[in-house]
Amino acid sequence: MRHRQKKSFFSPFRQNLVDRLSNGQYRFRRGLSHILIIASGLFLIYAFFGGTYGYLRIIRLQHKAGEIRQENHRLLVKLLNAKIDKYRLESDPNHIEYIARTRHFFARPGEVIYRFKE
């Protein structure tokens, strides 16, 4: 008695691939071409959206670059304001008096300071 061999998933690949392609098995060639098209399509989708140079990563990096530019601009404005304050403190006695009166509640002799609660 002869035993029948069970067909496994890999049985088509066990046969000689070159023979199958050259013998004109249309279904096999069509299936193989479909698999190759799907695999290459999946690779292109992954390459476009994922990975190191993917579209999503580029978008995230552009967003982060915009945030860094805004932070840089904010810090530049803060630096310029600090330089202006430094210059005014070094050269303008009226500004020093203004700061002493408003922030530290200093008064000249004989003046009365009134504080109001909000």
Give the pLDDT confidence of 29-54 residue by residue, as tens digits: 778 888 999 999 999 888 888 877 88
**Distance (Å, whole) CA 4 – CA 74:** 79
105 vs 37, residue with greater confidence: 37
CB atoms inside a 10 Å sphere around CB 12: 14
Q: What is the pLDDT of residue 15?
A: 56
Mean pLDDT of the chain, nearest integer: 82
Q: What angle do CA 33, 39, 45 make, to 5 degrees?
A: 135
